[in-house]
Structure 1
Amino acid sequence: MKNVHSEVGMQVSVQREKVRFISGGADCAAWHYPGTNGACVIMAGGFAVTKEPGTDPFAKRFHQAGFSVLAFDYRGLGESGGQPRQVVRVSDQLADWQAAIGFAATLPEVDPARIAAWGFSVSGGYVFQVAARNPQLAAAIAQTPNADGVAGARNLMHHQKPLAMLRVTALGILDALGGLVGRPPLLVPLVGPPGTVAMLTTPDALDSDRVLNPGNRYPDWQQAVAARSALRLGFYRPGRDAPKVRCPLLVVVCEQDQSALCEPSVAAAKRAPCAELVRIPGGHYEPFLGGHEQIVDAELSFLQRNLLDADPSPRRRS
């Protein structure tokens, strides 16, 4: 069943419908914005960030420019089905991307040769691997991506107190062991000040609620995650797949990013055969703040050049 949702703001009307697709036996919920130009942008939010706070500001602008958008929740998060809840598993989320790409290609207004992937933060890191695995993609955008989990984990240690770091690690191990015997996840807050038990304690991470959820616009966003979720992400290095990305790739980095370091993403962009790099001053969420117009313009220009102006292959379906 499709649910139609209309929003009026900034003198424009955004029409979108709730759709679902299957991944790993679970229903993944998504917003589908039907476009007019035949191209589609698939979008996902950051670490345990659901589709509305994670994609709305960009999805609306892409749609206004004529693009279809498919913005989805990973299984176990937001409105998607799947158990256990609030657990971030890299392999599952990459599989959700595969399912989303397959589903987007079936949307009636979408040309399968004009599909792009967009992600930010952790999902921005996924984009390197997703694009490398899907040469049929016409383009990909990695916005403030977490390209190197090892470097990111070392950086996070500088913004957390040792005792709190030990407590988070111990909870993660305990949660992982509990998951093996089917116990419910042990949840910890997504962000918190140094010294508290939280996943992220970097200065710009503390801005996440203010930036992504102003005025509690998205009250259903559960800002907590299973403690086990960080264990594997700390060893995940998707930037290593950048040389395998054959489609045009746009990498957006913020020079003072303290949550997803700038330099590993810059290095990944340099290794990709067809990459463009946009650098702006500011922290992790600058593309949602003062840098929003600059980044939206850069991303729209990139999408138009590579999804509309380019001659895609295979040929447009009839």
Structure 2
Amino acid sequence: MTERKKVRFLSGEHECAAWHYPGTNNACLIMAGGTAVTKEPGTDLFAARFQDAGFHVLAFDHRRFGESGGRPRQVVRIGEQLADWRAAIAFAATLEGVDADRLAAWGFSLAGGHMFPVAEQNPRLAAAVAQTPLADGLAAARAAARHQRPMAMLRFTVRGLLDAAGALIGRSPLLVPLDGEPGTVALLTTPDSRDGDRALNSGNRHRDWQQAVAARAGLRITMYRPGRRASRVACPILVVACEQDQSVLFETGARAAERAPRGELVRLPGGHYAPFLAAHEQAVDAEVAFLRRHLLDQPLDRSLSRSGRRS
């Protein structure tokens, strides 16, 4: 049975909830899920495998989601989430048995996209893993539009604008489902987005997970292009991209891996959630091997890990 305990840390004025999985080596992996995906559905499957491989894991909820604080709920604010990552990394460094020079970050989908600015802005990270990352929100939105009907796109846009306007006067968020069939008002209607519940919530294990997000998230995510930061990432970064991904696109993740000075790319068959489904073993094997290589099997260049560049 997986051993873990609930912990909390401060990010600004908010408290973030997390699971700490104690490890048997002194390296720690900080993890979070994608858009509105909380720590249990978003990280449980991988966190247990990383712990089995000996790593400590800190898996957390971004503020405004899951068990973390912050209101209004279900609202994605990119800057806040990046601040939560900084706080989580700082907290992980204080965990008993963890070497502060052997930290890595892991995210998928939207959080996978976060890996590029997170790794750039946090030079204490020794490595990062971006799994099916949203590297270019604009490119992903254009591709996703092919799987949506014009009137539904218009209704979604109007709802997003109303939600954003309502936020200015303190109204509650207007929510949309994370996925839906073409013609419905949902964040994603791509064919592979429909695998989300099967991949993350098989058997309805996570009954408290609210699979909805404030409609304004669609507007913000479309303008988010974190892959452009890849060229400024100093640490090794592994991009795990799926060749038939219709939700965030294989090509944009692969280009980000190519631009990163120490980027590595793993190509997997399947759609956006394949690493949680048929390609799970391939994904875990590649990620564990990468983490062992960069966190355990070689001496760290401490001047690089602390300053973000070689002295």
Please say whether Structure 1 and Structure 2 have the same fold, judged by a TM-score greater than 0.5.
Answer: yes
CA contact under 8 A between 1:113 and 1:313: conserved in structure 2? no
Could you say which structure has the higher helix fraction? Answer: 2
- The equivalent residue for 1:225 is 213
2:59 is the counterpart of 1:75: no
How many Å separate the matches in 1 of 2:204 and 2:97?
34
- The equivalent residue for 1:9 is none
Q: Which runs of 5+ in 2 are unaligned?
A: 304-311
Instruction: Please report the TM-score for the alignment, with normalisation by the length of structure 1.
Output: 0.94
- The equivalent residue for 2:295 is 307
Instruction: Please report the TM-score for the alignment, with normalisation by the length of structure 2.
Output: 0.96
How many Å separate the matches in 2 of 1:95 and 1:288?
27
How many Å separate the matches in 2 of 1:132 and 1:146?
16
- The equivalent residue for 1:4 is none
- The equivalent residue for 1:115 is 103
User: Counterpart amino acid of 1:74?
Assistant: H
Match of 2:267 among 264, 279, 298: 279
How many Å separate the matches in 2 of 1:95 and 1:79?
17
Q: How does 1:54-93 map to 2 (within 5 A)?
A: 54-93=42-81
User: Counterpart amino acid of 1:144?
Assistant: T
2:187 is the counterpart of 1:187: no
How far is the alpha carbon of 1:229 from its aligned partner?
1.1
- The equivalent residue for 1:266 is 254
2:224 is the counterpart of 1:251: no
How far is the alpha carbon of 1:73 from its aligned partner?
0.3
Give the CA RMSD over aligned residues.
0.9
Q: How does 1:32-71 map to 2 (within 5 A)?
A: 32-71=20-59
Q: Which runs of 5+ in 1 are unaligned?
A: 1-12
How many Å separate the matches in 2 of 1:207 and 1:276?
26
- The equivalent residue for 2:164 is 176
Provide the secondary structure at the position in 1 that maps to 2:148.
coil
Q: Deviations over 1:5-33 (max 9, x none)?
A: xxxxxxxx211000011112111000000
How many Å separate the matches in 2 of 1:245 and 1:209?
32
How far is the alpha carbon of 1:313 from its aligned partner?
4.3
Provide the secondary structure at the position in 2 that maps to 1:204.
helix
How far is the alpha carbon of 1:278 from its aligned partner?
0.3
2:187 is the counterpart of 1:207: no
User: Counterpart amino acid of 1:245?
Assistant: V
Q: Which consecutive segments of 4 or more residues in structure 1 shift more than 4 A? A: none
Q: How does 1:155-170 map to 2 (within 5 A)?
A: 155-170=143-158
Q: Deviations over 1:88-110 (max 9, x none)?
A: 11111111101101110111111
- The equivalent residue for 2:307 is none
